[in-house]
Amino acid sequence: MLGASLYLAEGTEKNLAFIDRMHDAGVQTIFTSMHIPEDDPVETLDSLKQITKKMNEYGMELMTDVSSGTFDIYNIEKEKAKEFFTDLGVSSLRMDYGFSYQEMKDLAENFKIVLNASTINDEMSEELEAVGFDLSDITVCHNFYPRENTGLGREFLYERNAYLNEKGYRIQAFIVGDKEKRGPIYAGLPTLEEHRTADPLYAYLDLVENFFVDEVLVGDIEMSEESLQRLDEWIDHEVISLPIQDLYEEVPSIFYDEHINRPDVAEDVVRSSQSRIVLRDETIEPLNNDVERPTGTITIDNVDYGRYAGEIQITKKDLPADERINVLGKITDEAIPLLQFIKGRTKFKFIGG
């Protein structure tokens, strides 16, 4: 699942338009914070009510980051928390600090409870169960890290999430947006440091496939339409969309069609299982067949390869030139890490060029 983030300091009008776009993109959950220092608390409540009204009309859920300090900011008694958040129209509460386990349980009668994934341990899990929680009903959300070099490492995230997954928690984590970054640092808002400059689809797949993450949230203000579409292609249709570059003039008629990797996965290349069948009546003459094939090169076997003529491939390692193989182009450098997720029978397609 894909979620998004909005920030109240961006202004109500901009955020309402953002919700429209996220609804069109199939996003169900949007994260915001009521206690980020840069936000102006005076305008927050009115803006938040307008935002939740629109989201509720769309059937979307707003998750807000709260702490005991939230009540000081808005001059609300803690005992009236349930009434306060109900009036705001909030769906989920990401509870940072300052709440007892019983207070969490009381709020869980009206709201989904989200806890900090970095702080959960055995003692907390036992306390939560002691007040009546089923751990599978609780979501745990990782932080995002605005400053470069402060995001989590792969080993830590894997070990943490393996533990949380074994306990039964539902896990959320953040990836960066590739259009408009959030200030004041503007360096992206990832959970995993390695994802700070990564292709968004790769970051999404990495979290879901390798780190037990159930829902991925975009931490930044905006993501490009192309990236949203590529994520939607995977989430709704399980198709990996590969941006291309340096496309050669001559490409086969089925180049931009949806391809399926063969079930018997090759070590060195991704193999389009249907391409040579569809192109069996076409003659693929030798052309652009004297160049090396670095990782990510898109090729088609020419007539000199006999019965393999017409097979479209993507190299998964550097390979030498072969006169029986025409080079068609290359996927972008940012898309190369996606090749590891093209398993047997995985669907993929080329975009751009």
Element counts in the chain: helices (H) and strands (E)? 10, 15
CATH class of the domain comprising 2-237 = alpha beta
Q: Is the peptide bond before 41 cis (omega within 30 degrees of 0)?
A: no
Instruction: Output the pLDDT for position 250.
Output: 82
- Listed by start position, the domains of the chain span 2-237, 244-352
Q: What is the DSSP string of 288-348?
A: S-SS-B-TTEEEEE-GGGGGGTT-EEEESS-B---TTEEEEEEE-GGGGGGGGG--TT-EE
Q: State the pTM of this model.
A: 0.95
SS3 state of residue 172: strand
Beta strand 61-66 pairing with 29-33:
parallel
Instruction: Output the pLDDT for position 38.
Output: 56
Average pLDDT along the chain, 353 residues, taken 10 residues at a time: 92 96 95 74 86 97 90 87 94 91 96 97 98 98 98 99 99 96 94 98 99 98 95 97 92 96 98 97 96 98 98 99 98 98 99 89
Query: Nearest-5° angle of CA 18, CA 10, CA 35?
Result: 110
Instruction: Output the pLDDT for position 37.
Output: 55
Q: How far apart are CA 210 and CA 179, in angstroms?
A: 25
Q: Is 195 within 8 Å of 220 (Cβ atoms)?
A: no
| Of 319, 318, 302, residue with least CA distance to 310 | 302
Instruction: Output the pLDDT for position 249.
Output: 78
HSE toward the beta carbon, residue 227, CA cutoff 13 A = 23
Same fold for the pair 2-237 and 244-352: no
Q: Does domain 244-352 have CATH number 2.40.100.10?
A: yes
| Of 43, 1, 9, 63, residue with least CA distance to 26 | 1
Q: Residue 29's Cα: distance from chain center in Å?
A: 13
Instruction: Output the pLDDT for position 278.
Output: 97
Instruction: Output the pLDDT for position 83.
Output: 94
